Amino acid sequence: MLTLLAQEARAVLRNKGAALLILFGIPIVYTVLFGFLYSANVVKNIPLVVFDQDQTSTSRTLVQAFADSERYSIIAQVTTQYDLDECMKNKNAMAALVIPENFSRDIKLSHATTVLMETNATNLMFANNVVSTSQEIVQTVSAAIGQRLVEGLNLPPAQALKIAAPVRLSVRVTSNPTASYSNFVLPGLALNGVQLAIFLVSCTLLTSEYSLLARRRDVSAASILLAKLIPCWIVSVLSFLVCIGLSGSLFGVPFRGSLVQLVLISGAFNFAIASLGLFISAAAPNVLSAMQNTAIYIMSAFLCCGYSWPIFAMNTAGKAYSVILPLTYAAIPIRDILLAAYTPELAKNTLILLAIGASFFGLAIAVFSLRRKKMPAEVEEGLA
């Protein structure tokens, strides 16, 4: 067993340099590529078209507030509803600010007035930002205008502000106080990159070597598979830790938790994925079939694991599918360890991942043993 393990380890490090390159290269490329892609952290410079029907100093104050915000970039100021609709239809603008007639007059007469903010929701990242940030800007300008009106009654500015804006909102954001998109998405993408790399390596460990491995009758199937699994597992854990280090050093993703917890949950996850890859490799008739089965899993796992869209908001089918995904039990806990320094179900999720890995490893042994017994007959039939 130890001799076989040493041989496989040397194969990964030397003869199979491509495997080592995949296990380190793909996760690092995932981390760096998406880190730079989301390095802005928030959506900025949303294209905005303005339709100011009032054209007063008060309405221009509101327009200027949007112009001063880094979240918006005013691309046009139109004078008709038709021009505004054309800007939105052609997607030159993703949002539109419509200020009604008599905007200034109604404010001075203490009448209610409504400003319309229209947004194109084909991209929810734009739409959600428009909804939240436009409210902040309008409320701030509204309070400032109200303060000036009350100051006209010869009240001090501080007292005037309390009368004009009697209710204020204080917001406290924990774990990711800057609402950084990199902090939110990068740990999961790095883990998904590691998952992809493990599959690319583990799914081919047995498929192309059955005829060679079948001759090793003196070595048990469990020993052969364990010797295949361990080098892949160790390298993948190291690769993930490198990705987390790059996330922090290059893109400022914090690491507030315990390294031991991170190694524990990532190690259990990598074991589960490597075992699943070995099972696919043991069962697939050829390398192409193994890669096809892997592609089906990879394409759906990240979408259904609850990382970007919460599981409780999924339909019944989505919830059922998420239960069987190893990524479900690792992605969110790893993000919690990095950002919140605590994950409540670490022990439970680690045990689930170990159970998943042990189950697939056992199935891989059973399938490999069965196919290895049949291998001589298959070879003879092929030669005939």
In this structure, are 144 and 208 located in the same domain?
Answer: no
At 155 the pLDDT is 65
Domain membership flag for residue 210: yes
In this structure, are 278 and 137 located in the same domain?
Answer: no
Domain membership flag for residue 239: yes
Provide the pLDDT confidence category of residue 326 given band limits of 50, 70 and 90.
very high
Domain membership flag for residue 307: yes
At 223 the pLDDT is 87
In this structure, are 237 and 113 located in the same domain?
Answer: no
Residue located via tokens 């390596």: 201
pLDDT over 70 (residue 9): no
Nearest Cα neighbor of 264 from 361, 353, 341 is 353
pLDDT over 70 (residue 56): yes
In this structure, are 199 and 119 located in the same domain?
Answer: no
Domain membership flag for residue 348: yes
In this structure, are 257 and 204 located in the same domain?
Answer: yes
- What whole-number distance in Å separates Cα of residue 62 and Cα of residue 79? 17
Q: What is the DSSP letter of 102?
A: T
- What whole-number distance in Å separates Cα of residue 227 and Cα of residue 221? 10
Domain membership flag for residue 173: no
pLDDT tens, residue by residue, 234-286: 999 999 999 999 999 999 999 999 999 999 999 999 999 999 999 988 888 77
Average pLDDT, the chain: 81
Task: Name the CA dihedral angle for 354, 360, 361, 366, rounded to a multiple of 10 degrees.
Answer: 150
In this structure, are 134 and 196 located in the same domain?
Answer: no
What does each C-alpha distance from 211 to 28, 117, 165, 382 come to in angstroms?
Answer: 34, 67, 79, 12
Cβ–Cβ under 8 Å, residues 43 and 259: no
At 167 the pLDDT is 43
In this structure, are 262 and 357 located in the same domain?
Answer: yes
Task: Name the CA dihedral angle for 287, 288, 289, 290, rounded to a multiple of 10 degrees.
Answer: 50
Q: Look up the CATH number of the domain holding residue 72.
A: 3.40.1710.10
Nearest Cα neighbor of 188 from 29, 321, 306, 45 is 306
At 45 the pLDDT is 85
At 184 the pLDDT is 85
Lowest mean pLDDT of 113-117, 209-213, 222-226, name the range: 209-213
In this structure, are 69 and 138 located in the same domain?
Answer: yes
In this structure, are 103 and 248 located in the same domain?
Answer: no
Domain membership flag for residue 170: no
In this structure, are 317 and 376 located in the same domain?
Answer: yes
Domain span at residue 197 reads 2-38+180-383
In this structure, are 129 and 246 located in the same domain?
Answer: no
At 16 the pLDDT is 54
At 54 the pLDDT is 93
Domain membership flag for residue 263: yes
pTM: 0.74
